[in-house]
Amino acid sequence: MTCPCGSERDFVHCCALIHSGQQKASTAELLMRARYSAFVVANIDFLYNSFHPSTRRFQSKQDIESWATANSWVSLEIMKSTVQTVEFRAHYKDEDGVVRVHHEKSNFKELQGNWYYVDGRLID
């Protein structure tokens, strides 16, 4: 399958390598893309583990899983990325099939050579 992150590469040669730890997400944007793909394939462990340790403890795998699986993920649009932030729009359909957009500006931090998602702010 084509990678959901929008790279137009095959999933196994793209975000799957990051999910399995064979390849590091070398930038915040690559981690963001890998996290979006993880929502699509419902890789809850990756989503949980890619939270920065400072915010990971506030997360619940169950909440991540219900958000990942209740929605049907359509596409990812990166609006703007800097070294430590990514603004994106994730297009999805909710449980009722209603088309929605999750527009967020996220903060990332690097820790010992790995990028982590810290938190994000919703933009309307």
Q: Which residues contact 47 (CB under 8 A, 6 or more apart)?
A: 35, 38, 39, 64, 68
Using the minimum distance from each CB to Zn ion, give the nearer residue, 36 or 116.
36
User: Least Å distance between CB 124 and Zn ion?
Assistant: 27
Q: Which is nearer to Zn ion, 7 or 23 (CB)?
A: 7
- DSSP line for 43-54: -HHHHHHTB-HH
Contact positions with Zn ion (CB under 5 A) in 8-37? 14-15
Residue 44 in contact with Zn ion, rule: CB under 5 A? no
Position of tokens 């929008």?
Answer: 6
What's the min distance (Å) between Cβ of 79 and Zn ion? 17
* End-to-end Cα distance, the chain: 31
Among 5, 30, 38, 47, binds Zn ion (CB under 5 A): 5
What residues line the site for Zn ion (CB under 5 A)? 3, 5, 7, 14-15
